[in-house]
Amino acid sequence: MNHRMPITRRAALATFGVALAAPAIRPSFAQGAPIKVGVLHSLSGTMAISETALRDTVLMMVEAQNAKGGILGRRLEAVVVDPASNWPLFAEKARELLAVSRVDVTFGCWTSVSRKSVLPVFEELNGLLFYPVQYEGEEESRNIFYTGAAPNQQAIPAVEYLMSADGGSAKRIALLGTDYVYPRTTNRILRAFLISKGIPESDIMEEYTPFGHSDWQGIVSRVKRFAGEGKKTAIVSTINGDANVPFYRELGNQGIKAEDIPSVAFSVGEEELAGIDTRPLVGHLAAWNYFMSVDSPANTAFKTMWQAYIKNPRRVTNDPMEATLVGFQMWAQAVAQAGTTNVDAVRTAMYGQKVDAPCGYTLEMHRNHHLSKPVMIGEVQADGQFNIVWKTPGPIVAENWSPFIPENANRRRG
Amino acid sequence: MSATVSPLPASRARLGLRTGLLVALLLLAAMPVLNQLPTTHPLHVSDFLVSVTGKWICYAILALSLDLAWGYAGILSLGHGAFFALGGYAMGMHLMRLIGPRGVYGHPVLPDFMVFLGYRELPWYWLGFDHFAFAMLMVVLVPGVLALVLGWLAFRSRITGVYLSIITQAMTYALMLAFFRNDMGFGGNNGFTDFKELLGQPLNTSAARSGLFYASLIALAGAFLLCSRITASKYGRVLTAIRDGENRVRFLGYNTTHHKLFAFVLSAMLAGVAGALYVPQVGIINPGEFSPANSIEAVIWVAVGGRGTLVGAILGAFTVNGLKTWLTSAAPDLWLFVLGGLFVLVTLFLPKGLIGLLKGRGA
Amino acid sequence: MKNTLLAFLLLLAAALPARAQDAFVAALPGLAGNFNAQAEAVERLGALADPRAIPVLRALTDGRLLKRPDNTLVIREGTTTTDVLTGAATDAAGTEALRINNRVRVALRGALGRLQLVSPDPAERLAAAEAVFRTRSADNVPLLDAALARETVPRIRDRMAIALAASRLMASDPAAKLLGVEALGASASPEARAVLLEARAANPDILPQIEAAVAAIDRRLAVRRAAETFFQGLSLGSVLLLAALGLAVTFGVMGVINMAHGEFVMLGAYTTFIVQEACRGIPWLLPWSLPLSVPAAFLVAALCGAAMERGLIRHLYGRPLETLLMTFGVGMMIQQSVRLVFGAQNREVLSPPWMQGTLLLPFDIPVTQNRLWILAFSLVVLGLTVAAIRFTRFGLEMRAVTQKRAIASSMGIRTGRVDALTFAFGSGIAGIAGVALSQIDNVSPNLGTGYIIDSFLVVVFGGVGSLAGTLVGAFGLGLVNKILEPWAGAVLAKVFVLIAAMIFIQRRPRGLFAQKGRAAEA
């Protein structure tokens, strides 16, 4: 029942540093100060629901790396702070990590606004941030490595799938989202894409809700009505974490079956499904770059390691966790290659860095600070997992500056 | 409960507090100077401490404004965060306009978020914000007018106490929802970030940080002097009387509505100034600032410090925020217990707040 | 029942020519292929009218169809596995479950629909009629004609008639098409409307008739939509009512501002989760876990409430604003405790079967079952609350203490005990609200925060101290919100409602149902 037993142990780890754990692991470390790894994920407030798992992932990777003897013979030490889902506090904590704790690298942020809040701090103090969540693109900071998907690595392939014969040949699309920048931008890109595919404006519905929206009755019945206009309809959901449970419950209760109106979501993964009875939702889709159900040796190792670390054989993994893991491994390789934790040296070493990721492909970090990633479409199964029904033949290079946003043509380079 | 204080030691205690305040002010003023010392120097103050103290000073101004409304006029506003945020937004709009063509998309006028959300031209309510003076006017005017309208409606209907608190809370909540909407033209959830300069100074330099720090400190000192003057004046006494027995004061022939309205509007303007100074220092303004929990927290700073004392509000803001900064790093899983526990203990055992404790010592 | 089914199947099988049976065998390997091959094989099986296909297709739908390495198929039924061709029990070793996608699922629905139209089970026939309606193939016309002739259950007949009409629309014969249009136009079904709209492009010759039929349906639907919006408003109102009812007691009657109210609601939702997990061990109890949660959640929240009143709030009577700040601190601590104990992630609370799906009220007004139950539940809770206050000794004492504490005390009422009980009672109601909310919202540590402001507004809007006011306030705000939503959008609708409520309170500071007399003076 209590899946959070390890909390005391982790709290101890965080509070006392790895000093207590080190004798137990007993790898031989050469002389030298520990390499500090900042963890900037909300542990309280609205985003704790998503971000605590990422904090645990980083702590797991630090522990694992130390067991392997650290990097450059130096021990890793995690510095955990709680920015409490408060955006100005994110900036303050980022400054503290960089200026006071003097961390060598930071893994953190989930929402775009938190990243935008810390970005000037990382640029000013020349820090290094790994950002593990899919986002709207339109950004490329030399101090951030983006290990989540850009819109062309998630949204566009997913909509192409919906319009294909296998996806149900959708001719009419309802774009539902939470009212913030990621859905707005993604939907703007999708609208331009759909129009380029010959879908008229009148066949696109766009609707936004506040964060944590819990009353979906009206919107779901409007979607039903929209679907009742004689053309095959599909839902593209950019609904944010918290609002998904009530949304899917309403979808199930109003009897919207995936056979009739399939929906594809970009923010619903295994963690979100863990809070829902998925039986009425079988066949609804999600697009990610990783699913827990991927069959690859790296993924098996990842799942085993995670469930052992968290001491719960039923805990799931998800895409942002995989992105965190890939980012961590790349950073560790880059530090080893550069022979130093100096940010500029590590940044240079990051370009072209490759990792055999749990998603089953070898991913590469490009000069645009984004990863190449495969796109996968999964169907929700009755057990809360995804059945991968489609994937790209290989990793796709990120287009963080979308060609579907005309203003990108005027963008200032450099 | 706290010890009863006889008049003489109380005034001595007040004198002690004044001196303490002056010393604290001087210490604060010295911080950016000490920051210039080499990092190895024992008196060196880190960049981080300077920047975080600058933020606390803004919170202290907010607490001060709230104390004027709550501590003296008895208006418990649970929506002061909204005035703070509105002031912040006005400043944010100015900062956004100053980015000019240095944005990612190089548009000469439109801020980045408008460009990629497909705006063609600047909405009318953004006009004028490229002028510093206009923006500063809006910093006080927008919160002031909102407070005037809300206060006038509420005080005229003799809405007091809890009812007023709930209405102000609903106000900040409604504003939060509205500002979260991207169609409002305020950047939605992301709000404003990526500021470049203010008054010709690039913001990411230590000089700019010192400048903003001193501006905030001066604003705090000014606000404190203003509030002390007001509360010590005849008007201030009437205000306190209204707090303690509004009907009696009204029956004595005072127009309590006008008295309260003045205090409330002034308080909202001060909160707006605090917000305006806060935004360039933290580098972001977003609708989260409107969240009702933020406003409640601000009230708690005042309660922790001691309401109706002005000094207490400042002390409370520094104490609670200092603890928060320290604990969110030192005990990331447990800090909510410490802060929550502090609120409970203070309301139960220190009805006069930390200041009451200090004064008790003084006697 | 089972025997008749078997006899029927045997009869059907015996009647089939040998060639068709070979076709059944020939179609099977396709099921083990890729999604394209699967869909094709399913369609072939559906067209065969071979009863052996039914269990195979069902197994494929449910993920119980397995393939051996040599691509022969096996069906899993509980713990036993049987060979598809021989029907003999076999070993499950080395088999792998077949996966399908939505395209295969659509094909499966159509195929099973065709095969089950003549099933002896009425529920299967109804599902089949539905499936055939959605498949809409002219090939189904003779099948449906035959099935309709035999059908006796009126509800199934109606569905079959619509399905027949929709299938006729796909036929090449113009007379049949017109017949279909006419039948569809006589219904009040949005699905029928969708079929008609879809048919417009392919049938320009009968466009006027189609438009007329759509218009006829639209007239019937307009009423239905209004009813639907009304129900949605009531449903939102019932959620508000549940969330606010506890506050109406603690705030309205006692004057205590409890900012931890939302956390009590959250505790109620977590109690539901705990009761459900406890019931997992006892299978026959599991369907009852939700009803069992109601008293459990009441108790948990009431105990927490009583502890908080005795330990903390008691010391702050007469200082409502301090109480507000203190309870905010308590709320923070409760939230973080739950986060540390249960984790920050959502917890899954299952809906019992009787709370899933949509119910059709008279005139085909669709209402979702869970919301209907919550609506009824909120009214029951309100009724019980009113009864407890009006008709019990505790209620009498409670009213006596709130009206004139000193006199009540001198009459021998232990006012301290009554305070504790009243607060526990209000908190308990909040816990019950949590049980209901666990059915529509996230069970997460943040559950309560989303409801606290709305709840206060409802209580103040309705009139502090008046349960009738809370009732009217909750449903009023819910309805206005849902009426505004279609044209203002979800966010603005909520903002408008907030502003309207604020203005209203300023006009009538004592709310809709103002308490008369001194007791109302805050």
Tell me if B170 and C506 make a contact (CB, 8 A cut-off). Answer: no
Closest-approach residue (CA) in chain C for A242: C442
Q: Where are the beta strands (DSSP E) in chain B?
A: 197-198, 201-202
Tens place of pLDDT per residue across chain B (363 aa): 344 434 444 455 566 777 877 888 888 888 888 877 777 778 788 888 888 999 999 999 999 999 999 989 888 899 999 999 999 999 999 999 888 888 878 788 888 888 877 788 888 899 888 899 999 999 999 999 999 999 998 888 888 778 888 889 999 999 998 998 888 888 888 889 888 888 888 888 888 888 899 999 999 999 999 999 999 999 888 888 888 888 888 888 888 888 899 999 999 999 999 999 999 999 889 898 999 989 999 999 999 998 888 888 999 999 999 999 898 888 888 888 988 998 898 888 888 888 888 776 544
How many CA atoms lie within 13 Å of A246's alpha carbon, on the beta-carbon side? 25
Take residue A217 and report the two structure tokens written for it: 């009755």
Take residue C98 and report the two structure tokens written for it: 């077949």
Torsion of Cα atoms, A311 then A315 then A316 then A322, to 10°: -30
The CATH code of the domain at A152-293+375-410 is 3.40.50.2300
Model pLDDT for residues C394-429, shown as the tens digit of each residue: 888 888 888 888 888 888 888 888 889 999 999 999
Average pLDDT, chain C: 84
What does the alpha-carbon distance between residue B220 and residue C94 come to, in Å, rounded to a whole number?
Answer: 76
Query: Closest Cα of chain C to A105: distance in Å?
Result: 25
Tell me if C326 and B344 make a contact (CB, 8 A cut-off). Answer: yes
**Which positions 166-205 of C are in contact with A (Cβ < 8 Å)?**
190-191, 193-200
Contacts of A91 in chain B (CB under 8 A): 282-284
Average pLDDT over residues C289-310: 93
**pLDDT tier, A10 (very low <50, low <70, confident <90, very high otherwise):** very low
Q: What are the DSSP calls for A186-218, one per residue?
A: HHHHHHHHHHHTT--GGGEEEEEE-TT----HH
Cα torsion B314, B316, B319, B323: sign? negative
Contacts of B57 in chain A (CB under 8 A): none
A181's enclosing H/E stretch is helix A181-196
Please indicate if any CB of chain C lies within 8 Å of the CB of B162: yes
Contact A378, A387 (CB under 8 A): yes
Contact C474, C460 (CB under 8 A): no
Take residue C408 and report the two structure tokens written for it: 């009540």
Contacts of C274 in chain A (CB under 8 A): 1
Contact A337, A349 (CB under 8 A): yes
* Residue C518, pLDDT score: 44
Q: Is B8 exposed, middle or buried (0-12, 13-18, 19+ CB in 10 A)?
A: exposed
Place of tokens 């103050």: B45
Tell me if A212 and C445 make a contact (CB, 8 A cut-off). Answer: no
C413 to each of C310, C311, C312, C396, C408, how far by Cα in Å?
Answer: 17, 21, 22, 10, 6
| Strand, coil or helix: C215 | helix
Place of tokens 């449906």: C144
* Residue C115, pLDDT score: 83
Q: Where are the beta strands (DSSP E) in C303-404?
A: 358-361, 365-368
**pLDDT tier, A20 (very low <50, low <70, confident <90, very high otherwise):** very low
| Strand, coil or helix: A177 | strand
Query: Closest Cα of chain B to C324: distance in Å?
Result: 9
Helical H segments across C32-121, by residue range:
35-48, 53-62, 102-116
Q: How many CB atoms lie within 10 A of CB B41?
A: 10
Closest-approach residue (CA) in chain C for B169: C453
- The residue among B207, B181, B175 whose CA lies nearest residue B35 is B207
**pLDDT tier, C306 (very low <50, low <70, confident <90, very high otherwise):** very high
Tell me if B332 and A81 make a contact (CB, 8 A cut-off). Answer: yes
**pLDDT tier, C430 (very low <50, low <70, confident <90, very high otherwise):** very high
What does the alpha-carbon distance between residue B20 and residue B27 come to, in Å, rounded to a whole number?
Answer: 10
- The residue among C134, C92, C89 whose CA lies nearest residue C110 is C134
* Residue B318, pLDDT score: 93
Question: Tell me, what DSSP letter sits at residue C171?
Answer: S
β-pairing, C96-97 with C65-67?
antiparallel
Chains that touch C (3 or more CB pairs under 8 A): A, B
* Residue B14, pLDDT score: 60
pLDDT value at C21 more than 90: no
From edge to edge, which strands make up the β-sheet containing A204-209? A204-209, A172-178, A233-238, A263-265, A285-288, A376-380, A386-391
Please indicate if any CB of chain A lies within 8 Å of the CB of C228: yes
Contacts of B159 in chain C (CB under 8 A): 505-506, 509
Contact C149, C179 (CB under 8 A): no
| Strand, coil or helix: A36 | strand
Model pLDDT for residues C477-502, shown as the tens digit of each residue: 999 988 888 878 778 888 888 888 88
What does the alpha-carbon distance between residue B356 and residue B312 come to, in Å, rounded to a whole number?
Answer: 9
* Residue C36, pLDDT score: 86
Q: Which residues lie closer than 8 Å to C32 by C-beta, 6 or more apart?
A: C67, C71, C72, C73, C98
* Residue B189 amino acid letter: N
What does the alpha-carbon distance between residue A8 and residue A21 come to, in Å, rounded to a whole number?
Answer: 13
Model pLDDT for residues A113-171, shown as the tens digit of each residue: 899 899 999 998 999 999 999 998 888 999 999 999 998 899 888 999 999 888 888 88
* Residue A7, pLDDT score: 41
β-pairing, A172-178 with A233-238?
parallel
Average pLDDT over residues A324-337: 95
Tell me if B170 and C453 make a contact (CB, 8 A cut-off). Answer: yes
Average pLDDT over residues A35-64: 92
Query: Closest Cα of chain B to C346: distance in Å?
Result: 18
CB burial of A119-132 (b: ≥16 within 10 Å; e: otherwise) equals bbbbbbbebbbbbb
* Residue A16 amino acid letter: F
Place of tokens 């195979």: C56
C381 to each of C211, C239, C451, how far by Cα in Å?
Answer: 48, 12, 18
Range C225-520: architecture per CATH = Orthogonal Bundle (1.10)
Q: Is A240 exposed, middle or buried (0-12, 13-18, 19+ CB in 10 A)?
A: buried
* Residue C149, pLDDT score: 82
How many CA atoms lie within 13 Å of B103's alpha carbon, on the beta-carbon side? 25
Site from A136, A407, A412, A413 to mutate, B interface, most B CB atoms within 10 angstroms:
A407
Please indicate if any CB of chain C lies within 8 Å of the CB of A48: yes
Tell me if B194 and A121 make a contact (CB, 8 A cut-off). Answer: no
Selecting from A11, A81, A211 the residue whose C-beta is nearest the C-beta of B329 gives: A81
Site from C263, C327, C330, C332 to mutate, B interface, most B CB atoms within 10 angstroms:
C332
Take residue A243 and report the two structure tokens written for it: 């609002």
pLDDT value at A294 more than 90: yes
Q: How many CB atoms lie within 10 A of CB C278?
A: 15
Site from B67, B148, B163 to mutate, C interface, most C CB atoms within 10 angstroms:
B163
Site from B48, B289, B324, B326 to mutate, A interface, most A CB atoms within 10 angstroms:
B48
Please indicate if any CB of chain B lies within 8 Å of the CB of A286: no
Please indicate if any CB of chain C lies within 8 Å of the CB of B168: no
Q: How many CB atoms lie within 10 A of CB C486?
A: 15
**pLDDT tier, C20 (very low <50, low <70, confident <90, very high otherwise):** low
What does the alpha-carbon distance between residue B291 and residue A89 come to, in Å, rounded to a whole number?
Answer: 14
- The residue among A223, A181, A193, A221 whose CA lies nearest residue A206 is A223
Lowest-confidence segment of A222-231, B17-26, C64-73 by average pLDDT: B17-26
Residue bearing the bigger pLDDT, A23 or B196: B196
Query: Closest Cα of chain C to B347: distance in Å?
Result: 6
* Residue B197, pLDDT score: 84
Share of chain B above pLDDT 90, in %: 36
Average pLDDT over residues C257-277: 93
Chains that touch B (3 or more CB pairs under 8 A): A, C
Selecting from B158, B173, B296 the residue whose C-beta is nearest the C-beta of C509 gives: B158
* Residue A11, pLDDT score: 43
Contacts of C341 in chain A (CB under 8 A): 2, 4
Which fold, A7-150+295-364?
Answer: Rossmann fold (3.40.50)
Contacts of A283 in chain C (CB under 8 A): 101-102, 105
CB pairs under 8 A between A and B: 136
* Residue B84, pLDDT score: 96
Please indicate if any CB of chain C lies within 8 Å of the CB of A2: yes
Tell me if A211 and B333 make a contact (CB, 8 A cut-off). Answer: no
* Residue C491, pLDDT score: 80
Contact B261, B47 (CB under 8 A): no
Give residue limits of the domains in chain C.
Answer: 2-199, 225-520
Query: Closest Cα of chain C to B79: distance in Å?
Result: 12
pLDDT value at A214 more than 70: yes
Residue bearing the bigger pLDDT, A22 or C149: C149
CA angle B347, C422, B341 (to 5 degrees): 25
Please indicate if any CB of chain B lies within 8 Å of the CB of C494: yes
* Residue C231 amino acid letter: F
| Strand, coil or helix: B140 | helix
Which residues face C407 on adjacent strands? none
Contacts of B154 in chain C (CB under 8 A): 506
Query: Closest Cα of chain C to A249: distance in Å?
Result: 7
**Which positions 30-49 of B are in contact with A (Cβ < 8 Å)?**
46-48
Place of tokens 């608190």: B165
Model pLDDT for residues B134-157, shown as the tens digit of each residue: 999 999 999 999 999 999 988 888
pLDDT value at A47 more than 70: yes
Contact A135, A199 (CB under 8 A): no
Contact C447, C437 (CB under 8 A): yes
**Which positions 81-120 of A are in contact with B (Cβ < 8 Å)?**
81-84, 86-89, 91-93, 95-96, 99-101, 111-113, 116-117, 119-120
Site from A213, A226, A249 to mutate, C interface, most C CB atoms within 10 angstroms:
A249
What does the alpha-carbon distance between residue B4 and residue C98 come to, in Å, rounded to a whole number?
Answer: 81
Which residues face A236 on adjacent strands? A175, A264
For chain C, the maximum distance between any two Cα atoms, rounded to a whole number of angstroms, is 97
pLDDT value at C383 more than 90: yes
Q: Which residues lie closer than 8 Å to C64 by C-beta, 6 or more apart?
A: C58, C75, C76, C77, C97
What does the alpha-carbon distance between residue C144 and residue C130 come to, in Å, rounded to a whole number?
Answer: 12
Contact A154, A288 (CB under 8 A): yes
C73's enclosing H/E stretch is strand C73-77
Please indicate if any CB of chain B lies within 8 Å of the CB of C495: yes
Q: How many CB atoms lie within 10 A of CB C209?
A: 16
What does the alpha-carbon distance between residue C46 and residue C39 come to, in Å, rounded to a whole number?
Answer: 10
Which residues face A144 on adjacent strands? A129
Mean pLDDT highest for which of B247-251, C238-242, C287-291, C448-452? Answer: C238-242
Q: Is A33 exposed, middle or buried (0-12, 13-18, 19+ CB in 10 A)?
A: exposed
What does the alpha-carbon distance between residue B95 and residue B193 come to, in Å, rounded to a whole number?
Answer: 9
* Residue C388 amino acid letter: A
Query: Closest Cα of chain C to A410: distance in Å?
Result: 33
Selecting from C194, C341, C443 the residue whose C-beta is nearest the C-beta of A4 gives: C341
| Strand, coil or helix: A129 | strand
Give residue limits of the domains in chain A.
Answer: 7-150+295-364, 152-293+375-410
**Which positions 119-138 of B are in contact with A (Cβ < 8 Å)?**
none
Give, to the nearest 10 degrees, the angle between helix C289-311 and helix C415-437.
Answer: 140
| Strand, coil or helix: A45 | coil
**Which positions 391-410 of A are in contact with B (Cβ < 8 Å)?**
405, 407-408, 410
Model pLDDT for residues C210-247, shown as the tens digit of each residue: 888 888 888 888 888 888 889 989 999 999 999 999 99
Site from B84, B329, B336, B337 to mutate, A interface, most A CB atoms within 10 angstroms:
B329
C290 to each of A141, C349, C367, C437, how far by Cα in Å?
Answer: 51, 9, 21, 12
Model pLDDT for residues A59-105, shown as the tens digit of each residue: 999 999 999 989 998 999 999 999 988 888 999 999 999 999 999 99
Selecting from A44, A258, A275 the residue whose C-beta is nearest the C-beta of C346 gives: A275
- The residue among C281, C279, C239 whose CA lies nearest residue C447 is C239
Model pLDDT for residues A235-280, shown as the tens digit of each residue: 999 988 778 888 988 888 888 888 889 999 998 889 888 878 888 8
